[in-house]
C-alpha cells in the first residue's frame, strides 16, 4: 500500500498519461481474486484487451483505415467510366505544377504536356518540370545538345518541339510515329514562326503563312495541299485534327474529312485567336465573342460564362478552356475534375499578362513576370494503366472490399450460429443431419469452388450482381468452422444449471437456445467473426486478383492488382501494386491482431499467467 | 472400425454424387450450343438442308436434346469408367490432358511441404518451449504477418526482389525454353526455375503452420504428465521431444493431411503467377476458355481429394492416439 501511494505521488508527463489511457498499461495489477470479485466478465475482457499493446495498435490502425475508406469516398468521388489515356502510368508525386523558382520573372513562353511542362526564358534557356519519363527508355529531360538560344517551345503528347533564334527546329521524345523526324523540306526552312506539337504529330508554320505537317497522318486528319496554304497565321491541334487561323480572320479546318470540326459557326466579325481541346475547337472574334464547336461533350467545353470584358486570347487544355481578357482577368470553363477550370484567387487578384494551358495544367504569367500555376498537381500514389488516380481507387476499393467482407461475415455468422446452436442443443437426429451438411460444405475445396461458381454464374450477371454473388458465395461457404465452434460451446452450456432451471420453468426450447444459451457463447462468435472478416477480405482479394471476383471497373483491393502480374509492371510501374498490397496487407494484419487479442482477452486460459 | 470406415465411405459416395449432380446442373445452366460450334468451320461448304440435317444428327449424337438428368446419367456413367469427356479446346480426352499438370503439381507441392514442415515444426516447438520470450513474441508477430498476407502479394514482392531487381531467378516458366538436357541437368534446370515458386509457397504456409504447431505443443506441455515427467527428473530434451511432442503430434497430423488436401487447390495462385504447368493453372485456363469438361473433371478431382483427405484425417487420429475412438 505504501508503495502504491509513493507511485501515485510521482508526477506523470502528459504523454505518459495519454499512453496509459490509450493502452491501459501501467494500471495497478490486481491479484486474480480481486479481479474476479470486482469486475464483470465484459469489463474484464475489455481490460485484458486494452493491456495487450499489439492488439490495441492493430485495432487503432484498423479503425483509422476503416474511417478512411468510409469517409474517403465522399471526398474522392469515384467515376466508374473515367479513363484518361494521357495520364497512364504516371509515377507517384505532385510535381506537375512545381515551377522552378528561378523561372519567375523570366518566363517568355510555357508549353504544357500531359504530365510535364516546358518553359523558355527571355534569354533562351529551357526549363522543364513534372514527370518527364515517357517509357523505360524515353525521357524528355534528355534535351538535344547545343540548340543555341531557344525562342519557342511546344510540348506534345510525348514529344517536344523547340525553335531557336536562327529558325532551326529541334524535336525529341517519342519518335514512334516519326513525329520527331524532321523532314528535309522542313529542316531547310529558315522562316519558321510557330511550332505546334500534338498527339503523335508536329506542325510547323512559316512566316509566309504555310503549314508543314509530320508524324502520324492516319490518326490526324490533315491535308497537305489544303486551300489555305500561304494565308495562315496560327494553327491549333485537337487530338485528331488540325485547324488554322487565316490572315483575314477566319477559322478554317485543314483536313480533308467531313466531320463535326467542319461545322465552323458563322462569325460576325474578324477572329483574333483560336484554341483547341482534345475534341473541340474554339475561336474568339474581335468583339470578344467566343464560339466553340466540334465534339462538344458533357464535360462542358461549350458552356462558357458570360463575359463583360473583351477576350484577347484563348487557350485550350484537355477538356477545358482558359481565356484572358483585355483587363488582365482570367476565365476558365469546361471539365473541372482536377480544379483546372477553377481560377484561383491569386490569379484573379493579379494582373495577368499571358495564360498558358494544356492538358490539366494552367499557368498564368503576371505583369511582373511571376508564374502562377493551377490545375492537376500530380498523383500522390501515381496513376494506373487507364490513367485513374490510384489513391482514389484505393479509397473507393477499400470501401468495396470491406463491404464485401462485412456482408459475407454477417451471412456466414448468421448461418453458422443458427446451425451450430440448433445442432448442439437438440442433438440426436437434428445433430446428425446438420453435421453431415457441415461436412459436405467443409469438404468443398474453397478457392476452386468459388471460382467455378463465379465463372459459371458470373457470365450472365452485371457487375453489381457479381458483387452480390461474391458476398453470397463467400458467406455460404465460410460458416462450417463457426458452426462447429458454436455447437461445441452450446453442448457445454446445455448441461449448466441455468438451462435446467429454464427448462424447469417451462420456457420454450427455441427461447432457451437463442435467449439464454447464445448470449453465453457470444464472445466466441465475435472472435470468430473478426477472424472470418479478415479471411473473407483475403479470399475476395485473391479471387478478384485472379479475375474471378469483382469485375473492373468497380475497384476492390484485389482487382486493382489484376494485371500487375508481369515483370514489366512489377518493375516499371511499381506504384500500381505496391500501395494496394501494402494497404491490403496492413488491413488484414490489423484485423487478425485484433481478433487474436480478443481471443486472448476472452479466454484467460490461453493467456499464460 | 470396419463398420465406421464403410459408413464413412458410403457417406463419401453419397456426397460425391450430390455434388457432381449440383455441379453438372450448374454447368448445364450456361447457354451455348456445342453442336453449332462443331459445325461452324464447315458451314459455308454445306447447303442449307445439308447443314440442318447434319446439325440435327449431331445434336442427337451429342445428346443435346435429352433432359438434363439423362445427360447427367450419361456423363457420370462415363466418369465411373474413367472417361471424363473431351476437351472442347484441345479436342482430346481430358484424362490424357490432365496427367502432365497433375505430375507437376504433386512434384512442386511435395517439395514445398517438406521445406515448410522442416522449418515450422522446429520453430513451433521452440516457440512453445520458450513461450512469451522475446523470440516467441517476435515469431508470433511474424506469423500473423505471414498468414495475413495473401500468397499473391508475397509472390509479387519476391518476383520484384529476386527475379526483377536482383535477377537471381527466372520470372516464370518451368524450364529454360528449348532446354535439351536430360537427367541431372534437367532436374537442376527445373529446380532453378522452381526455386522462386517454392520459396513463395513455403513462406506463405509458414505462418499458419507455425502457430498450429506452437498451439498444439503448448497444450501438451500444460498436461499433468509433463509435470510428472519433470518431477521424475527426466532431462528437458526427453520431456519435450519424447513426451510432449508425441502428444502434440495429433493436431499436427491433422494439419499435415489438411495441407496435403490443399496441395491441389492451394497452389492455384502460385502456379498462375509463375505460369507453371500445374493443376491450378490448367483449371484456371479451362475456366477462362469455358472448356467446362476440363473444369468439371478437375473440380470433381478436387472433391475426391478433399473427401478422401477428411477420411484419412479422422482415421489417423485413431492411429496416432489410441485413446481417440472414431466410431462414436
DSSP H or E stretch at residue A151? strand A150-155
Lowest average pLDDT, out of A43-57, A193-207, B113-127, B171-185, goes to B171-185
Q: State the ipTM, two decimals.
A: 0.83
**Least trusted range by pLDDT, from A205-219, A454-468, A521-535:** A454-468
Q: What's the rounded mean pLDDT across residues A358-363? A: 90
- Chain A residue numbers with beta carbons less than 8 Å from the beta carbon of B145 are 585, 589
Mean pLDDT, rounded, of chain A: 85
B15: contact with A, CB 8 A cutoff: yes
Predicted pLDDT at B56: 81
Phi, psi of A565 (to 5 degrees): -90, 55
d(CA A530, CA A544) in angstroms, rounded, equals: 21
> What pLDDT, on a 0 to 100 scale, did the predictor assign at position A37?
56
Give pLDDT tens digits for B58-75: 777 776 777 778 888 888
What was the pLDDT predicted at A21?
Answer: 58
DSSP conformation class of A323: E
Give residue A62's pLDDT.
92
Tell me, what's the pLDDT at A413?
A: 92
Contacts of A446 in chain B (CB under 8 A): 265
Alpha carbons within 13 A on the beta-carbon side of A572: 15
C-alpha cell at B264: 491441389
Cα separations in angstroms, A121 against A107, A147, B17:
5, 14, 80
Mean pLDDT over residues A160-173, rounded? 89
Domain B98-325 has what CATH class?
Answer: mainly alpha
Q: What is the mean pLDDT of chain B?
A: 80
* Arithmetic mean of pLDDT, A282-303: 87
Kindly give the pairing relationship between strand A290-294 and strand A280-285. antiparallel
B8 touches chain A (CB under 8 A): no
Give residue A407's pLDDT band: very low, low, confident or very high (50, 70, 90).
Answer: very high
Mean pLDDT of A164-175: 88
DSSP β-ladder status, A280-285 and A271-276:
antiparallel
Closest CA to A598 of A24, A50, A31, A60: A50
Please give the order of strands across the beta sheet that includes A116-121.
A107-112, A116-121, A126-130
Q: Model confidence over B189-238: pLDDT tens digits?
A: 888 888 888 888 888 888 888 888 888 888 888 888 888 888 888 888 88
- Tell me if B269 and A436 make a contact (CB, 8 A cut-off): no
Residue ranges of domains in chain B: 32-83, 98-325
Confidence of residue A9 (pLDDT cuts 50, 70, 90): very low
Give ∠ CA A551-A473-A419 in degrees, rounded to 5: 160
A 440-499 residues inside an 8 A Cβ radius of B? 440, 442-449, 451-453, 455-457, 459-460
Question: Comparing B76-90, B113-127, B311-325, which segment has the lowest mean pLDDT?
Answer: B311-325
Mean pLDDT of A103-117: 88
Q: Residue A276: its pLDDT value, please? A: 92
Give the residue ranges of DSSP H helices in A507-558: 509-511, 518-546
**pLDDT, average across residues B153-171:** 86
C-alpha distance from A570 to closest chain B C-alpha (Å)? 6
Q: Which residues of A touch B310 (CB under 8 A)?
A: 439, 442-443
Q: Nearest 5°: CA angle at B12, between B9 and B14? A: 115
Domains in chain A, CATH or no CATH each = 46-75+389-602 (1.10.3720.10)
Chain B residues in contact with A564 (beta carbon < 8 A): 156
pLDDT tier at A508 (50, 70, 90 boundaries)?
confident
Cα–Cα distance, A335 to A277 (Å, whole number): 11
Strands A211-215 and A232-237: unpaired
Residue ranges of B 167-196 with Cβ closer than 8 A to chain A? 171
Q: Which of A57, A457, A565, A569 to mutate to test the interface with B (most CBs of B within 10 A)?
A: A565
Distance CA A486, CA A331 (A): 67
What average pLDDT does range B245-271 have in this prediction?
75
pLDDT of amino acid A17: 60
Residue A15 banded pLDDT, cuts 50, 70, 90: low
Predicted confidence at residue A63, as pLDDT, reads 93
State the pLDDT at residue A396.
Answer: 92
- CA pair distance A26, A7, nearest whole angstrom: 11
Which DSSP helix (H) or strand (E) runs through B297? helix B292-320
- Reference B239, options B252, B212, B220, B219; nearest CA is B220
Mean pLDDT value across residues A149-173? 89
User: What is the pLDDT averaged over residues A283-301?
Assistant: 87
- pLDDT of A540-596, one tens digit each? 898 888 888 888 788 899 888 887 878 788 888 889 999 999 999 999 999 988 988
| Chain B residue closest in CA terms to A585 | B149
C-alpha cell at A277: 481541346
CA distances from B181 to A181, B51, B186 (A): 48, 51, 5
Which pLDDT score is estimated for A414? Answer: 92
Is the whole model's pTM more than 0.90, yes or no?
no
Closest CB to A561: pick one of B148, B152, B265. Answer: B152
Report whether pLDDT(A403) > 70: yes
Q: Where are the beta strands (DSSP E) in A59-121?
A: 107-112, 116-121
For residue range B18-69, list pLDDT tens digits in order.
888 888 887 777 766 667 777 777 777 777 788 788 878 877 777 677 777 8
**Cell, residue B143:** 506469423
* Interval A398-411 mean pLDDT: 92
The SS3 of residue A18 is helix
| B156·A561 Cβ contact <8 A | yes
DSSP B86: B
Amino acid at each position: 500500500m505504501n508503495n502504491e501511494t509513493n507511485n501515485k505521488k510521482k508526477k506523470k508527463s502528459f504523454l505518459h498519461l495519454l499512453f496509459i489511457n490509450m493502452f491501459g498499461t501501467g494500471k495497478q495489477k490486481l491479484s486474480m481474486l480481486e479481479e474476479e470479485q470486482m469486475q464483470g466478465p465484459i469489463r474484464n475482457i475489455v481490460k485484458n484487451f486494452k493491456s495487450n499493446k499489439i492488439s490495441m495498435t492493430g485495432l487503432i490502425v484498423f479503425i483509422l483505415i476503416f474511417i478512411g475508406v468510409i469517409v474517403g469516398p465522399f471526398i474522392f468521388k469515384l467515376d466508374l467510366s473515367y479513363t484518361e489515356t494521357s495520364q497512364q502510368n504516371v509515377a507517384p508525386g505532385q510535381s506537375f505544377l512545381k515551377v522552378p523558382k528561378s523561372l519567375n520573372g523570366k518566363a517568355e513562353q510555357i508549353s504544357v504536356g500531359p504530365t510535364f511542362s516546358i518553359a523558355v526564358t527571355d534569354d533562351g534557356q529551357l526549363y522543364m518540370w513534372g514527370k518527364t519519363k515517357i517509357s523505360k527508355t524515353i525521357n524528355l529531360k534528355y534535351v538535344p545538345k547545343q540548340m543555341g538560344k531557344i525562342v519557342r517551345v511546344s510540348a506534345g503528347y510525348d514529344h517536344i518541339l523547340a525553335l531557336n533564334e536562327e529558325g532551326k527546329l529541334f524535336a525529341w521524345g517519342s519518335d514512334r510515329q516519326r513525329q520527331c523526324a524532321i523532314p528535309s523540306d522542313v529542316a531547310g526552312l529558315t522562316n519558321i514562326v510557330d511550332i505546334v506539337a500534338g498527339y503523335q504529330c508536329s506542325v510547323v508554320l512559316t512566316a509566309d503563312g504555310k503549314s508543314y505537317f509530320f508524324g502520324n497522318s492516319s490518326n490526324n486528319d490533315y491535308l497537305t495541299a489544303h486551300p489555305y496554304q500561304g494565308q495562315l497565321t496560327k494553327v491549333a491541334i485537337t487530338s485528331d485534327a488540325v485547324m488554322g487561323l487565316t490572315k483575314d480572320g477566319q477559322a478554317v479546318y485543314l483536313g480533308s474529312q467531313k466531320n463535326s470540326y467542319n461545322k465552323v459557326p458563322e462569325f460576325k466579325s474578324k477572329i483574333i485567336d483560336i484554341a483547341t481541346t482534345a475534341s473541340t475547337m474554339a475561336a474568339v472574334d474581335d468583339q470578344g465573342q467566343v464560339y466553340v464547336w466540334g465534339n462538344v461533350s458533357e464535360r462542358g467545353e461549350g458552356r462558357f460564362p458570360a463575359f463583360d470584358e473583351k477576350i484577347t486570347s484563348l487557350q485550350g487544355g484537355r477538356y477545358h478552356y482558359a481565356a484572358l481578357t483585355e483587363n488582365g482577368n482570367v476565365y476558365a470553363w469546361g471539365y473541372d475534375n482536377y480544379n483546372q477550370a477553377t481560377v484561383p484567387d491569386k490569379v484573379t487578384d493579379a494582373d495577368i499578362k499571358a495564360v498558358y494551358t494544356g492538358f490539366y495544367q494552367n499557368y498564368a504569367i503576371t505583369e511582373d513576370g511571376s508564374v502562377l500555376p493551377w490545375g492537376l498537381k500530380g498523383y500522390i500514389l501515381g496513376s494506373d494503366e487507364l490513367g485513374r488516380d490510384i489513391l482514389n481507387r484505393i479509397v473507393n476499393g477499400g470501401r468495396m472490399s470491406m463491404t464485401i467482407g462485412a456482408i459475407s461475415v454477417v451471412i456466414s455468422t448468421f448461418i453458422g450460429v443458427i446451425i451450430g446452436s440448433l445442432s448442439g442443443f437438440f442433438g440426436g437426429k437434428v445433430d446428425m443431419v446438420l453435421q453431415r451438411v457441415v461436412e459436405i460444405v467443409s469438404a468443398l475445396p474453397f478457392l476452386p469452388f468459388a471460382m467455378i461458381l463465379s465463372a459459371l454464374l458470373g457470365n450472365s450477371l452485371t457487375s453489381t450482381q457479381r458483387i452480390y454473388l461474391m458476398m453470397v458465395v463467400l458467406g455460404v461457404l465460410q460458416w462450417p468452422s463457426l458452426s462447429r465452434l458454436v455447437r461445441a460451446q452450446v453442448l457445454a452450456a446445455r448441461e449448466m444449471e441455468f438451462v435446467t432451471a429454464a427448462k424447469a420453468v417451462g420456457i420454450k426450447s427455441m427461447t432457451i437456445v437463442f435467449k439464454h444459451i447464445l448470449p453465453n457463447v457470444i464472445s466466441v462468435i465475435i472472435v470468430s467473426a473478426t477472424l472470418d472478416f479478415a479471411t473473407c477480405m483475403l479470399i475476395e482479394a485473391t479471387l478478384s486478383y485472379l479475375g474471378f471476383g469483382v469485375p473492373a471497373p468497380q475497384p476492390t483491393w484485389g482487382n486493382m492488382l489484376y494485371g500487375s502480374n508481369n515483370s514489366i509492371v512489377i518493375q516499371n510501374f511499381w506504384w500500381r501494386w505496391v500501395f494496394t498490397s501494402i494497404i491490403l496487407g496492413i488491413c488484414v494484419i490489423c484485423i487478425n491482431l485484433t481478433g487474436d487479442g480478443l481471443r486472448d482477452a476472452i479466454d484467460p486460459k490461453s493467456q499464460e499467467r | 472400425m470396419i463398420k465406421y470406415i464403410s459408413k464413412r465411405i458410403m457417406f463419401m459416395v453419397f456426397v460425391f454424387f450430390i455434388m457432381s449432380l449440383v455441379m453438372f446442373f450448374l454447368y448445364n445452366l450456361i447457354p451455348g450450343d456445342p453442336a453449332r460450334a462443331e459445325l461452324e468451320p464447315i458451314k459455308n461448304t454445306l447447303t442449307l438442308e445439308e447443314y440442318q440435317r447434319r446439325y440435327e444428327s449431331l445434336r442427337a449424337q451429342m445428346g443435346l436434346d435429352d433432359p438434363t438428368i439423362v445427360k447427367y446419367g450419361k456423363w457420370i456413367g462415363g466418369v465411373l469408367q474413367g472417361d471424363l469427356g473431351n476437351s472442347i479446346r484441345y479436342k482430346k480426352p481430358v484424362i490424357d490432358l490432365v496427367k502432365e499438370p497433375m505430375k507437376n503439381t504433386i512434384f512442386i507441392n511435395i517439395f514445398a511441404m517438406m521445406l515448410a514442415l522442416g522449418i515450422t515444426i522446429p520453430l513451433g516447438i521452440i516457440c512453445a518451449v520458450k513461450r512469451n520470450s522475446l523470440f516467441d513474441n517476435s515469431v508470433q508477430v511474424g506469423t500473423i504477418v505471414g498468414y495475413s498476407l495473401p500468397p499473391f502479394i508475397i509472390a509479387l514482392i519476391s518476383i520484384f526482389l529476386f527475379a526483377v531487381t536482383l535477377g537471381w531467378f527466372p520470372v516464370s516458366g518451368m524450364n529454360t525454353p528449348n532446354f535439351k538436357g536430360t537427367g541431372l541437368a534437367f532436374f537442376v534446370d527445373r529446380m532453378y526455375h522452381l526455386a522462386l515458386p517454392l520459396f513463395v509457397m513455403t513462406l506463405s504456409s509458414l505462418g499458419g503452420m507455425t502457430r498450429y504447431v506452437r498451439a498444439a505443443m503448448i497444450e501438451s506441455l500444460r498436461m499433468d504428465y509433463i509435470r510428472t515427467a519433470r518431477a521424475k527428473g527426466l532431462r528437458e530434451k526427453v520431456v519435450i521431444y519424447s513426451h510432449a511432442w508425441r502428444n502434440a503430434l495429433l493436431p499436427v497430423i491433422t494439419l499435415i493431411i489438411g495441407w496435403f488436401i490443399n496441395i491441389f487447390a492451394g497452389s492455384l495462385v502460385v502456379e498462375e503467377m509463375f505460369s507453371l504447368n500445374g493443376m491450378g493453372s490448367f483449371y484456371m485456363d479451362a475456366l477462362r476458355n469455358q472448356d467446362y469438361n476440363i473444369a468439371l473433371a478437375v473440380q470433381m478431382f478436387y472433391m475426391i481429394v478433399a473427401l478422401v483427405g477428411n477420411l484419412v484425417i479422422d482415421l489417423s487420429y485413431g492411429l496416432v492416439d489410441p485413446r481417440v475412438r472414431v466410431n462414436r
